[in-house]
Structure 1
């Protein structure tokens, strides 16, 4: 081998570019983040030929002092950190000081900037790493950066660029994700001289909703709920998609940590577990979430492109995310989206059309047991609904003409083909999948019963010896208390073996070895495991499916109404155990449209 030598600065920057700059979207990311760090309130991104020919980012931020322009394109020079303490508490999007010199080393680069109050702007150019002398220029307060002919001096890298439309789509996706995180900033994106996106800065909640609709479509807002949770020194807020609005791919998942868009396996695992009980297999939830926490608790310096982070207390973050989302999804009760039920004319129209005897009987029956439905469920008459019914104010019930209450799901009027319950509420027609709805009610009741009893363990007649790796055996040894809480009695039997003597009773007939291995993997990766709970829930879900009313079972009106009332009171009842919707609403306006009324 040849002697060790220092690499030329230009080559060092090109190597760094290989880590930071993957495609034009990578350049846009670094430049826009610098604009936001500079306090910009307006950012314009101009792209030509997907970014291969030109990337221009212009902002109205604080600008760069003329004497600092050479440093801005020097390796590892930055105004954002000055000490190791600063590095531990990074509060800016950019901070490494390698983006601009890396970009400049693989393009024809120009930076023009002017500080507020300065007599003029100054411009400095770099051609493939060769710096030219800076000179005065015309420019408003702020900064413009032009990146032309990306990878022109690295033909092999340039060949890896995709078609123009593909590269621009990556840029478009990036700008949209940043626009979601910074609603207070105006963004404009142009391609080949044509404005493609224009996101105005938000001034109030209405503007914020408008931006969400522009970025993700009006369907997202209509099929999601806003959440806000605080705890353990963290705050989680944003929008999570309803389980019934899941997607075939994870293309609408945006998670930001202190304003930084990241991909993190701790986050992905927590979200997946939170949705596990309400999402159909193979489907993906949509969400736009923001996690705010002490910068000291998250390391953003683990990846050159800063797309990954490492949480110092990953188990705490995981549990907070899971609990927050799990509780939010628990509120997806059937009819919950109708809690602001219409008053006045619509309610009077409903009251007038429902038989008076049925109205009065149900008015008295809200919260009271119905013997027929109790028999249907195999329960004592006094247990339907289970526990005291919540106050009517919880549902936002409408008033009929006589002062009676109209529940969100209304009153049953018929049964269709022994499968669907038809009901009429203040908004129009409700259709309920009878079996799916009852399956969720039964399932939630079974879970509540078993949660109240705790995990019942069962001793194995013959202890099972399982061969594991030395690392896995150590995990078992170090997490003996966690295994005990999950209903296991497991001990290390040797350097690469463990012995299982007791398991959760409900799961004793299952694949014990696979379950134990899965729990070990979770504890090693995330510090906690819900494998036992998930396996138990799978079993309870099957039991609920077999124990629910089947198709072609004729129900009386009181039985159907009791089913509606239980749906309104049961957590997650907007979807069945497999993630399918249990009910739909057809408004009077939608019905009128079907029959061309009013035209």
Structure 2
């Protein structure tokens, strides 16, 4: 039997599309504040984002006799007819957010319009109005959301832990504030239990906000670019090849000050840097695109996280050439600097009367010292005869990456980096972290506020993993111990810490540090191009014979592959 759903059920279904988690609530409310021309927005959280969150602004406010109407589905001040959907100048437009949020929470809203002397307060419990009274306040709007999803337990159980939900809100708030750091500057504050987690003042420019949120090191490694097109313009900042990460989560794309997800932007940038970065390296990117509203359709995603752009290939192509040209220019500058260094090196061979020596002698000594420091990357090959894996004889290292073993019937290729990862990972799990924890020369690391708080939040857990650090003030830490799988002296504390941060950002509930262990094993393993000695290969053979042909690295990649004689014969049609 076909039935028409009741109003409460309809609102809960709509809420499921718009309000996915506390972050969604903050996003919708902040967008309402920005559309109301607020230049100061404060987000407050108490206990956890599910229990209490509030967004307060100094925008134009809602008229007293329209406050209840604002909580009716599809009631909006931002569009009047369907044609307005294709020339949007606002962040919101559907009129779904407020009724959707109210239907799955206990919601209180207090607002005063700029043209009125007194405001009003309205309260909703699971979508039902329970109170409406006059209430005085300064011009602007406050929306308080308590007990989110209390009447939709199925949705609530899929939320992650409160710290992860809070991290999503911090991440969104921090990134949105970057868009409003140019001509139109917005003050943004985020507090939890009275403690300030983020504050962009109206006087902070883009560099100030990047430094505050990400840290000074990223701010110092950003390159600026801009482009003017016929129906669009963009400006952006991209990190140099010295400052990258292992995923694309920091490729940030804004259209008309709105955060948008777009895979094509990632592909364009990655392709532009294909000759500069490794396959698993991604830059930090902050791309701000201004497009004529008639050229974009925002009505394609419930949470307005995607956009359909007319003639979008033109933008992607322009971005590709701009980024590629920027790094080619940087490379040419580096080559000029290298030539200067080479010419100065030639001069250093001249006789120095003051110390009665040749500059070249000092240069050679320095080189030998460098080789000693990184000896594990410069191992001298010794004879590798009589090394057998099963019934296969070791032949050579091919492509600087694979151990090649041969028999009368097939070839075996062993990815020694993947195998090394598996060995270190298993040792770490089997023998515990303490055995592989080693003291280092204390190293101070300056972080952004976001990363600093993430590390401090997980300090006890990281200590169990052999990563011990102490607070050094001003969003900085001093690292005292690190996991030490081997004797690689060139594995710096900052490299390990930033790897750990990227894994902690995932916020997985079950076995949250598996990825961290895998990453550390990867960082400390032999890499493609490293020279192996006989003892290395013996150790690898021993481990394969123990673990079998189905071994994989901790990330799931195969360690060993077989190429049969008949497969090769088939290539030549024999």
Distance 1:313 1:188, change over 3 A: same
Find out whether 1:197 has 2:198 as its counterpart.
yes
Distance 1:10 1:197, change over 3 A: same
What is the aligned counterpart of 2:310 among 302, 309, 312? 312
What residue in structure 2 maps to residue 330 of structure 1?
A: 328
What is the aligned counterpart of 2:106 among 105, 108, 130? 108
What residue in structure 1 maps to residue 63 of structure 2?
A: 65
**Structure 2: how far apart are the matches of 1:233 and 1:417?**
60
**Structure 2: how far apart are the matches of 1:149 and 1:295?**
37
Deviation, structure 1 residue 413: 11
More off after superposition, 257-266 vs 26-35: 257-266
What residue in structure 1 maps to residue 171 of structure 2?
A: 173
- 1:311, 1:317 within 8 Å by CA — same for their partners in 2? no
Deviation, structure 1 residue 250: 2.6
TM-score if structure 2 supplies the norm length? 0.58
**Structure 2: how far apart are the matches of 1:185 and 1:412?**
58
The correspondence of residues 68-217 of structure 1 with structure 2, limited to 5 A, is 68-183=66-181, 184-202=185-203, 207-217=205-215
| Structure 2 segments unaligned to the other structure (5+ residues) | 338-342, 351-358, 371-530, 532-574
**Structure 2: how far apart are the matches of 1:132 and 1:413?**
87
- 2:29, 2:55 within 8 Å by CA — same for their partners in 1? yes
Deviation, structure 1 residue 133: 4.3
Secondary structure of 1:51 counterpart: coil
Deviation, structure 1 residue 132: 3.0
What residue in structure 2 maps to residue 295 of structure 1?
A: 293
**Structure 1: how far apart are the matches of 2:19 and 2:220?**
37
- 1:180, 1:215 within 8 Å by CA — same for their partners in 2? no
Distance 1:416 1:273, change over 3 A: farther
Distance 1:153 1:226, change over 3 A: same
Distance 1:321 1:134, change over 3 A: same
Secondary structure of 2:83 counterpart: helix
- 2:251, 2:266 within 8 Å by CA — same for their partners in 1? no
Secondary structure of 2:245 counterpart: coil
What is the aligned counterpart of 2:27 among 22, 29, 40? 29
**Structure 2: how far apart are the matches of 1:314 and 1:130?**
44
**Structure 2: how far apart are the matches of 1:113 and 1:59?**
10
Distance 1:322 1:413, change over 3 A: farther
- 1:298, 1:312 within 8 Å by CA — same for their partners in 2? yes
Deviation, structure 1 residue 50: 2.9
Distance 1:131 1:225, change over 3 A: same
Deviations 1:165-201 (A, max 9, x none): 1111111111111111112011110112211111111
**Structure 2: how far apart are the matches of 1:231 and 1:337?**
32
Distance 1:246 1:416, change over 3 A: farther
- 2:79, 2:93 within 8 Å by CA — same for their partners in 1? yes
What is the aligned counterpart of 2:54 among 53, 56, 77? 56
Deviation, structure 1 residue 224: 1.5
Distance 1:241 1:121, change over 3 A: same
Deviation, structure 1 residue 49: 2.9
- 1:113, 1:142 within 8 Å by CA — same for their partners in 2? yes
**Structure 1: how far apart are the matches of 2:283 and 2:213?**
17
- 2:39, 2:187 within 8 Å by CA — same for their partners in 1? yes
- 1:246, 1:283 within 8 Å by CA — same for their partners in 2? yes
Secondary structure of 1:316 counterpart: helix
Deviations 1:260-283 (A, max 9, x none): 101112212211211212111211
**Structure 1: how far apart are the matches of 2:344 and 2:163?**
58
Find out whether 1:247 has 2:248 as its counterpart.
no
What residue in structure 2 maps to residue 15 of structure 1?
A: 13
| Structure 1 segments unaligned to the other structure (5+ residues) | 340-350, 359-410, 423-550, 552-599
Secondary structure of 1:136 counterpart: strand
Deviation, structure 1 residue 138: 2.5
- 2:86, 2:294 within 8 Å by CA — same for their partners in 1? yes
- 2:237, 2:285 within 8 Å by CA — same for their partners in 1? yes
What residue in structure 2 maps to residue 279 of structure 1?
A: 277
What residue in structure 2 maps to residue 221 of structure 1?
A: 219
What residue in structure 1 maps to residue 235 of structure 2?
A: 237
**Structure 2: how far apart are the matches of 1:355 and 1:249?**
44
- 2:225, 2:235 within 8 Å by CA — same for their partners in 1? yes
**Structure 2: how far apart are the matches of 1:352 and 1:16?**
69
Secondary structure of 1:243 counterpart: coil
Deviation, structure 1 residue 5: 2.9
TM-score if structure 1 supplies the norm length? 0.56
**Structure 1: how far apart are the matches of 2:336 and 2:235?**
22
Deviation, structure 1 residue 6: 2.3
**Structure 2: how far apart are the matches of 1:336 and 1:79?**
54
CA RMSD of aligned residues (A): 3.2
- 2:247, 2:281 within 8 Å by CA — same for their partners in 1? yes
**Structure 1: how far apart are the matches of 2:365 and 2:248?**
37
- 2:248, 2:266 within 8 Å by CA — same for their partners in 1? no
**Structure 1: how far apart are the matches of 2:129 and 2:305?**
29
Secondary structure of 1:318 counterpart: helix
The correspondence of residues 538-549 of structure 1 with structure 2, limited to 5 A, is none
**Structure 2: how far apart are the matches of 1:352 and 1:285?**
33
**Structure 1: how far apart are the matches of 2:234 and 2:335?**
22
- 1:181, 1:259 within 8 Å by CA — same for their partners in 2? yes
The correspondence of residues 426-505 of structure 1 with structure 2, limited to 5 A, is none
Secondary structure of 2:227 counterpart: strand
Deviation, structure 1 residue 418: 11
Deviation, structure 1 residue 231: 2.1
- 1:227, 1:237 within 8 Å by CA — same for their partners in 2? yes
